[in-house]
Amino acid sequence: MAVTTDGFSAWLAQAQVAEHRLTPDQRGALLAAFHFRQAQGHDSYATRLLTHFLLHGGTGLKVAQLARLAGVSRSTASGQQGMSSQEAVQQAHHRLDGRPYGKLLPRYAGPIIEFLLAHPKARRADLIDFIDQTFGVRVSRIALYKFLKKFGLDQVPAAPATPGPVASGAPAPPTRTRPAGPLLAADAPPTVTPAAVPAPPFSSRRRSTRARSC
């Protein structure tokens, strides 16, 4: 146990982390990271996973200190700060086995462009996974970039949005109005002539008022 403790202290010292200033939580997290490093080694997979854990483990240490603990540069550690766990694993996987082997054939261009049109926000990692699942071919990012550029797929536009149905509350289209101007004969309303009212029965057609006497 003394050897482990000495190794842990040396690991902190080379990263310029003052051991006596660590809180119990910080010490526990860093001790677990140290045991992980000792058990898994220094390969690219282990280093990337360790870096991701240190950056998102809530230790409260500076990025430069965490980079020295993981054995990577500060810029590399900063680039992984915004990555999710899935993205970190995908990137490690692609960098290790995504070699230029696995030839991309011209007949793959059709399904690839359909995928890009259906997923305009897809990352290169998503496209590499699609190619692997569809054609059983694993390629590197460089090989994929050359393939896309060769066939003009590096600037595929997003799929046009289809117009949706008209909402029920939408205003009705304007009715057709007659242009201003004089009314034509066909447009003028018909003239209505009032019917004659017949005289009541037993009434005289003469004036009923008596004439003025002289």
Q: Mean pLDDT throughout 194-210?
A: 56
* CA torsion angle 73 124 43 50 (round to 10): 60
At residue 92, does pLDDT exceed 90?
Answer: no
Q: Which two tokens stand for residue 134?
A: 């569809």
Ordered DSSP codes for 119-174: -TT--HHHHHHHHHHHH-----HHHHHHHHHHTT-TTPPPPPPPPPPPPTTSPPPP
Helical pair 85-97 and 44-56, crossing angle rounded to 10 deg = 160
* CA torsion angle 46 52 58 61 (round to 10): 80
pLDDT tens-digit map of 94-120: 655 544 445 788 888 889 999 999 988
User: What one-character DSSP code corresponds to residue 60?
Assistant: -
Please give the pLDDT value at position 173.
54
Confidence band (pLDDT; 50, 70, 90) for 81? Answer: confident
pLDDT tens-digit map of 43-67: 778 888 899 999 998 889 999 999 9
User: What one-character DSSP code corresponds to residue 188?
Assistant: S
d(CA 125, CA 98): 11
- Mean pLDDT score of the chain: 75
pTM passes above 0.85 = no
* CA torsion angle 43 126 104 136 (round to 10): 80
Q: Is residue 88 a contact partner of residue 44, using CB atoms and an 8 Å limit?
A: no
Please give the pLDDT value at position 180.
56
